Amino acid sequence: MVPDQIAPGIKTSSGPADDETSRLSALEAADRLFYAKGIQGVGMDELRTASGISLKRLYRLFPSKDAIVEQVLLARHRKWTEGISSAVARETQPRERLLAVYDFLAAWFIQEDFRGCAFINSFGELGGTSARVAEIVRSHKEDFQKYLSTLTAEMGAPPALAPQLAILAEGAQTTAAISGNAEPARQARAAAEVLIGAALVGQ
């Protein structure tokens, strides 16, 4: 428990938003705007209006727009990881746990604001000019590959299966985004079932 006692000049929780709350509001608004319009398509002024946080405060909370971009991507990575893990955790059979990934995608694709994978989008926009963005995206995708590897290993499938399943997931995301259709999630799942079946033959 954090004591309610405060030092002079420090706002209580009933006063104006504290820094942590503002940070989260700013990142949430930035994430929504960046995802919808691209990173370069959103100015700091628009972020100020959308978040209700003054420019002065934004620049006290973050040193630059680049830093906001970085934090938004890192937060998205955590959210993605949690979403996938909890969808997988609902299943007990190794095969069903793996397929839960595609059901998670299906649920995501039908959301109204779905516009593909934010990491792929950011890489397309800034991967060629921002080493930091490229690195975050690469690391995010590497993480996903490793996660799928643990899931395939649980099943006793050969290691070659995981990258194939990852490629299906990536392809489903871009195809669904561009076509505006959620069907690729089901198509990828059906393909994954075939690949899993083939990988487990003779076991």
Please list every residue from 22 through 41 that binds DNA, using CB under 7 A: 40
Smallest gap from residue 70 Cβ to its own copies (A): 17
For residue 112, state whether it binds DNA (rule: CB under 7 A). no
Helices 131-155 and 94-109 pack at an angle, to 10 degrees, of 140
Interface mask toward its own copies for 140-159; x: CB under 8 A: -xx-----------------
**Residue partners of 51: CB distance under 8 A and separation at least 6:** 25, 26, 28, 29, 30, 58
Please list every residue from 87 through 146 that binds its own copies, using CB under 8 A: 115-116, 119-129, 134, 137-138, 141-142
Q: Any idea what DSSP says for residue 111?
A: S
Answer whether 105's CB lies under 8 Å from 188's CB: yes
**Residue bearing tokens 């399943």:** 165
Please list every residue from 20 through 49 that binds its own copies, using CB under 8 A: 36-38, 40-41
Interface mask toward DNA for 61-100; x: CB under 7 A: ---xxx----------------------------------
For residue 73, state whether it binds its own copies (rule: CB under 8 A). no
- State the DSSP H helix or E strand holding residue 66, giving kind and residue range, or none if neither: helix 65-89
Q: Any idea what DSSP says for residue 10?
A: P
Q: Pick from 59, 69, 63, 104: which is nearest to 86 by CA?
A: 104
Rounded Cα distance between 25 and 33, Å, is 12
Q: Pick from 118, 81, 115: which is nearest to 101 by CA?
A: 81
For residue 57, state whether it binds DNA (rule: CB under 7 A). yes
Total number of residues binding DNA (CB under 7 A)?
Answer: 19
Answer whether 100's CB lies under 8 Å from 169's CB: no
Among 51-59, 72-80, 147-155, 192-200, the segment contacting its own copies (CB under 8 A): 192-200
Residues that bind DNA (CB under 7 A): 8-9, 15-16, 40, 42-46, 53-57, 59, 64-66
Would you tell me which residues interact with its own copies (CB under 8 A)? 36-38, 40-41, 115-116, 119-129, 134, 137-138, 141-142, 160, 163-164, 166-172, 174-175, 177-180, 183-184, 187-188, 190-191, 194-195, 197-198
